[in-house]
Amino acid sequence: MAGVLTITTMIAGFLLGYVYRSTAEARDKASSDKLVGAISQVVSGFDNDPVSSKTTVTAGSSQITIYPATHDGRLIGCAAESSSDNGFSGKITIVAGFDPDGNILGYEVTSHAETPGLGAKMNDWFRGTGSRSVIGRNPSSRPLKVSKDGGEVDGITAATISSRAFLEALNIASEGAMTYFRQSTENK
Amino acid sequence: MNFFKTIYHSAVLENPTFVLLLGMCPTLGTTSSAINGMSMGLATTGVLICSNAAISGIKNLVPDKVRIPVYIVVIATFVTLLQMLLQAYAPALNDSLGIFIPLIVVNCILLGRAEAFASRHNVASSVADGIGSGLGFTVARTLLGACRELLGSGSIASLSIYPESWGALLFILAPGAFIMLGFLIAIYRYLQAKSTKKHSA
């Protein structure tokens, strides 16, 4: 009886180990492809490799990963990866692109567990028209807030918690990006 | 029972969602749109076919007392394999299904079919039952997802039918899932009763 159970778990273990190892490379590649894809979505026109020149800065209490984007050696912006733990169901991770003035060029939600059909709409919603959109806004002068909290961004209908968390991550990303821009001009 | 009869039996007469009422948690939780409903259904079907085949293959080797833990190990193994393969070769699909892939392990349909069918039939019939139950589950979920999406956000499979602001948000949320499922089960039962009457007449 115990023997059968042991043998079953052993076979299962070996099988899982084998597939885990043989797909490790493909899985790593898939996640790095996703990152590179997200970076080129949010900042465009760079000719360097932002992933290999990545650096981290401290913004508030969190560490933000910055992917600098340069063209002919001139800094044209950066992509900042940040997250918020205040989503409706846990962590929301985004990559946002900023130009050197701190204007939002684009964003991409890379991982989240929000409700499908509600909070999960954030990857499209905040690119929408009018006051939904965060593109072109500059959180460094004034952090973004949803209109319910007296801000200027229209949150997702019935998903205010997700919207707040998304904007929180975006504000942190902006802080990180501005810190990075300041540091890189000081170093010159 | 031959292969296709088993498929029909498992998909229609013993439809997991509308007749057996198995696997209600993912049915209610991941059917806010037709696409979500279908992809989760297909993932479950894949695991169900594999686990049914494996369990039916080893049924004579497993003592009765440890059969449930053995079935769970088999099912969990297939689900984990599926997740690793999706992460490697279909990352977009893996992202959209998210947390629900690991939750296939605790879907009652898998253990239910293992216990009620695969442990008593040969491999071929068990595969047929896996296909039938899986398809029945997938079709039911797609239907439920399509109805909820249409009433809640005015579209089917992301194709807009009418403006989203006219939709009743209720149907995207959990209560709407219960209401819609109730209506669909009622319709299914009505049609089933009608067709049995016709047969016996």
Q: What is the rounded CA–CA span in Å between residue A110 and residue B168?
A: 29
Q: Facing residues of B49 across strands?
A: none
Q: Looking at this protein, which amino acid is placed at residue A7?
A: I
Contact between B116 and B84 under an 8 Å Cβ cutoff? The reply is: no
pLDDT digits (tens, 9 = 90+) for B39-69: 888 889 999 999 999 999 988 888 888 888 8
Q: What is the rounded CA–CA span in Å between residue B130 and residue B135?
A: 8
State which residues of chain B have pLDDT below 50: none
Q: At what angle do helices B67-89 and B34-58 cross, to 10 degrees?
A: 130
Whether A23 has its CB under 8 Å from any CB of chain B: the answer is yes
| Residue A92 three-state SS | strand
Give the H or E element holding residue A105: strand A104-111
Q: How many CB atoms within 10 Å of residue A25?
A: 10
Whether A31 has its CB under 8 Å from any CB of chain B: the answer is yes
Residue among B70, B77, B88 whose CB faces A30 most closely: B88
* Torsion from C-alpha of A125, A126, A132, A133, nearest 10 degrees: -140
Smallest CA–CA distance, residue B164 to chain A, in Å, is 11
| Residues of A whose CB is below 8 A from B74 | 8, 12
Smallest CA–CA distance, residue A63 to chain B, in Å, is 24
Q: Which residues contact A126 (CB under 8 A, 6 or more apart)?
A: A107, A132, A133, A134, A135, A153, A166
| Residues of A whose CB is below 8 A from B172 | 117-118
Q: Which residues contact B82 (CB under 8 A, 6 or more apart)?
A: B43, B46, B47, B101, B104
**Prediction ipTM score:** 0.71
Cβ contact (<8 Å) for B149 and A27? no
Q: Looking at this protein, which amino acid is placed at residue B135?
A: L
| Residues of A whose CB is below 8 A from B149 | 117
Cβ contact (<8 Å) for B73 and A117? no
Whether A51 has its CB under 8 Å from any CB of chain B: the answer is no
Angle at A81 (CA atoms; ends A79, A82), nearest 5 degrees: 135
With an 8 Å Cβ cutoff, the interface of chain B facing chain A consists of 30, 32-33, 36, 58, 61-63, 65-66, 69-70, 73-74, 76-77, 80-81, 84-85, 87-89, 91, 95, 98-99, 149, 152-153, 169, 172-173
Residue holding tokens 């905040």?
A126
Contact between B29 and B41 under an 8 Å Cβ cutoff? The reply is: no
- Alpha-carbon distance values, B32 to B58, B86, B160 (Å): 38, 22, 15
Nearest CA in chain B to A27: B88
Q: Which residues contact B186 (CB under 8 A, 6 or more apart)?
A: none
Q: What is the pLDDT of residue B186?
A: 94
Q: What is the rounded CA–CA span in Å between residue A82 and residue A169?
A: 6
Q: At what angle do helices B67-89 and A2-42 cross, to 10 degrees?
A: 20
Helices (H), chain A: 2-42, 122-125, 160-187
- Alpha-carbon distance values, B20 to A7, B81, B199 (Å): 33, 28, 22
How many Cα atoms within 13 Å fall on the side-chain side of residue B126? Answer: 27
State which residues of chain A have pLDDT below 50: none
Count helices and strands in chain A by DSSP H and E runs = 3, 5
Contact between B87 and B48 under an 8 Å Cβ cutoff? The reply is: no
